Structure 1
Amino acid sequence: MAETAGLGAELARVVDVLPEMGAALGETALMVAIAVPLAVLVAVPLGMLMYATRPGGLAPSPLVYRAVNTVVNVVRSFPFIILLIAMIPITRLVVGTSLGTVAVTVPLTVNAAAYLARFVEQNLLQVPLGVVEAARSLGAGKVRTLWSVLLVEARPALAGSITIMVVSFISYSAIAGLAGGGGIGDFAIRYGYYRYETGVMVATVVVIIVLVQLVQAAGTLTVRRLDKRL
């Protein structure tokens, strides 16, 4: 009886915090809605630039490649929590504050752009050389080969990379709480770690798992639709 009463109390508490959990989900969705498109807009041209200027690329330029490659590696080497703190002055300059959900999207975008740029470069490298040679033999210029051939051929892999990035964003939402960014991960930490409300934490973890599964399923479906081999 005591166990049943305890379980009932836990369920009642979960119901009580549902509005706050919904708000946390909304904050995570806002982070993704702002940061992902911005990261893609930055990362795709950056990844293409690294692909084109790397040794053996369409327009080899060791100086440009080393410069861009170094910047990408430096950003990727920062743990997100350190990057979040280090970028406080820049965040304030861009959005006027270093606290809140919108403010967190600034370091999130920078972090994601660096990771995705590397993915883009690798995705383009996976395109068979024969495709590039065929386009060049038909008179396609370097820019057209990049945008109209390589980028099109790499779309399935790019969709998979973006899916991985979105899933990472969901985990980063736990760290976003340090800057008042909120998010479903931060919600789980506040109730599970600080308040020791196990039932609420378990319910939140289940929500996060479902959310990740939905994102992954959507990404997999997109990859299948874009991949001409499937």
Structure 2
Amino acid sequence: MTVSLFDQFLSPTLLGIPLIALALTLPWLLFPTPCFRWLNNRSLQSQNWFISQFTNQIFQPINQNGHKWAVLLTALMLFLITLNMLGLLPYTFTPTTQLSMNMAFAVPIWLATVLIGFRNQPTMTLGHLLPEGTPTPLIPILIIIETISLFIRPLALGVRLTANLTAGHLLMHLISSAAFILFSIMPVVAILTSILLFLLTLLEVAVAMIQAYVFILLLSLYLQENTYGSSSTRMSYS
């Protein structure tokens, strides 16, 4: 009986209970708890430095009203990085390889940014659907195209994260299986394949971090697009 390669992306169960809930709650147990002491340990200091650098880079070009999202996006960033990194360990499950899970992260936040734009600046938000100076015969077509591109954004977020992690895991599984099979037949080729697997693992560690960063970066760009246009922002950019 041939086992499908995609069976590794199915949620494992124990006594009929899906273990995806355990995989989602595990990252929060790994983060050190902040304390009120003057001096922190190295893990807390590193965590605080990473959070401060991330928030400064992401929210510097965003309007002051968008800074309220700093806690949400930073927590989601740490959560996605931890899930992606834990998924590289043996005998673990990666929830972010599930499209439904990634869409559950992308759709509500994207929808919230769009609703904020319609509430605070409806004219400018609707203006994004029609570029300035468009010829009259092309107006209906461009409105349809821009509307489709607007609603495809959360799907692109979820598919990008799912596809990159799934492809990396499948490639690691194929190369590791080839190295295991070739070890008794051609040891030299198996050693070279193992070296390739090690380099691919390092690449997947980078991909796990980069894809989480890209996910949050695109959400911050959507937020910037829907919060830009207030009087304070126009004054700062004038």
TM-score by length of 2: 0.33
Kindly name which structure, 1 or 2, has the bigger radius of gyration based on alpha carbons.
2
Greater share of residues in helix? 1
TM-score by length of 1: 0.33
